[in-house]
Chains A and B, each alone.
Chain A
């Protein structure tokens, strides 16, 4: 589904990604872990198309398309979804209205008819139930005055609505207490299927207790320095990132 080859990127003059290689197939969940400043969020941002980052080398193929050539909105329309670490507030725009706009723009791009009000409402009710979110929250201005947990739950609701092929969860666990974490993770798990894939970007192993990955990659200084299965995450939790740092230094 997603094939990343030798991806290098910088912000300003600062080179952050030093050559990333990663292959993700449908049905898989990949966790990207690493110490602060290792380039985790940069990778998520580059994949979703943030303009501040300049790609200096490499290729990213997404379902046969050159992802790097697509605008951020076209990437989303092709099926990439990013659950933000810090979802922004948009005063005066309800989540419902926001989702209606998004869904219909995506449908138009795919040559589908816009959803009528009844079908949209039906879809919304179904997804609300799936991710355990209350409609009162969706009637409010997008993320305005939401608690940390509400914001993340809203992100997962949007993910459910847009049914992406590849979801990138950027530090979704930050700022969540254990109950909120469980609800958010449940939502993500319910959305997992053989047809989609998920990248979970996280600093801590904690989230991976709930969203169990097929593969774990450790990012350090802009490179994937170690890959493994979910046991690698546990090992990291036990030994700390210094273990990786020392290993890299020894090479």
Chain B
């Protein structure tokens, strides 16, 4: 065995750090999916009739739809009747403050590195924590509400702000948008809702942590963020899951909506359990994320650091409807062992003078497959549209794959589109150079990879950039080729 293979071998035996579970008593729906399941979930959440109807409509569409086959990922068929669609940690009564949260749960989040109490006191970050299907705690709510900002769990928003939910739910991602979005629309159980009123600049980072805890459970959360005229918010989501031998399904929907002059910056650090070194277990991550730049001069920026999941299928997109609106997509996707990622973005230019920027950095190691899939579409009336895309791939070892599928579709001849792509390998020369300066092989890989991904990591809020750097280093530790 060559030295490279040995190192790769070491890498593949790297353990997943968040692979613990906690014994939280859970309130679950019966296994399987039919109209009764949908009714069960809706009833559990005391939802209004219109929402139940909305869910049922989605379910009936979903039944007629087929799973997409075009992504460059391979997995055995999913048995949708073998999944539990609703699981909630049992709690005695509704909570008034963080201090009333189940101590086991607090422990859970402390293990995740998010101590809700500490967060509340020390940092300027408001956190909404979603475990399995429901939101368990939201911090900083009072402070935010003084500014008119709504930041709460989705279920709470349905009760407290039904007019807003009714207006915006499904307005960016229609229920029949795709197979997984339809499934989510039928069975989503919770998530986060955020509303920034006109002219308000949200003074702190808003953040949601998602955690799948229960076995055999799917997680289907929904996030909806609305920024009114001139509003600004920076939002971050993080995710982890326990190590389990069976695959678990995660099908989320995120909708962003910006009015005139508004801006939403949405960052993700995704670290779902990727499966073991032989590709057993791990999360199937089928997510629909889309933002609508509805107003003129509005802006939506997606930043993602994807290190987890057995399969990632995800294309955070921007629909640039307002004139002079702007969309951005910054992505680092790391795959290792048998992970498969098919991820990228769509930039749909509808308004005049719209612009978009795509920076995608793929890193493949082990026997993984990493695909960038992107679409840039310039519609007829989108005069003077601009797009710049850069898609880079970094390969580690000789058993992984990197693929790029860019689609460009232009209907207006004033458009200007640039696409750059590179593929490189971490060179032994680079590693040796670092070693000759006293830097260990592992630190050298971390240094080189973080340098490669710098342009994207720089987009993250400071404290998460540090977290993401560590995560990248950890995922690829010892991985040289």
Chain A interfacial positions (CB closer than 8 Å to B): 48-51, 71-73, 75-77, 81-82, 84, 87-88, 90-93, 97-99, 101-103, 105-106, 109, 141, 158, 162
| B3 contacts A by Cβ under 8 Å | yes
Q: Which of A51, A84, A102 contacts B438 (CB 8 A)?
A: A102
B46 within 8 A of A: no
Interface assignment of B114: CB less than 8 Å from any CB of chain A = no
Interchain CB contact under 8 A, A101 and B433 = no
15 contacts between A and B (CB under 8 A): A49-B435, A51-B432, A73-B435, A76-B437, A77-B438, A90-B447, A91-B451, A92-B451, A92-B453, A93-B447, A93-B451, A99-B437, A105-B440, A109-B438, A162-B437
Cβ-based interface call for B147 (8 A): no
A93, B432: Cβ atoms closer than 8 Å: no
Q: Are A91 and B452 in touch, CB under 8 angstroms?
A: yes
Size category, B interface:
20 to 34
Task: Evaluate contact between B427 and A76: CB separation under 8 angstroms.
Answer: no
B441 contacts partner chain A, Cβ-Cβ < 8 Å: yes
Which residues of chain B from 336 to 351 have any CB-CB distance to chain A below 8 Å in the complex?
Answer: none
A229 to B203, CA, bound (A): 71
Residues on A with C-beta less than 8 A from B437 are 76, 98-99, 102, 158, 162
Q: DSSP majority for the A interface?
A: helix
**Once the chains are docked, how many angstroms separate the CA of A141 from the CA of B448?**
11
Known pairs A92-B451, A92-B454, A93-B448; A105 contacts B436 (CB<8 A)? no
Given A72-B435, A141-B451, the answer on whether A90 and B443 have CB atoms closer than 8 Å is: no
B429 within 8 A of A: yes
Q: Do A90 and B451 touch (CB < 8 A)?
A: yes
Of the candidates B430, B438, B443, B447, the one whose C-beta lies within 8 Å of that of A88 is B430
Shortest Cβ gap from B391 to chain A (Å)? 15
Known: A50-B432, A51-B3, A88-B429. A73 touches B450 (CB 8 A): no
Our pick among B429, B430, B439 for the contact of A105 (Cβ within 8 Å) is B439
Interface assignment of B455: CB less than 8 Å from any CB of chain A: yes
Asked if A76 meets B435 with Cβ closer than 8 Å, knowing A88-B427, A88-B429, A105-B443, the reply is: yes
Chain A residue at minimal CB-CB distance from B427: A88
Residues in B385-438 with C-beta less than 8 Å from chain A: 427-430, 432-438
Bound-state CA distance A90–B441 (Å) is 15
Chain A, Cβ-Cβ closest to B3: A51
A82 touches B448 (CB 8 A): no
Contacts of B455 in A (CB 8 A): 92
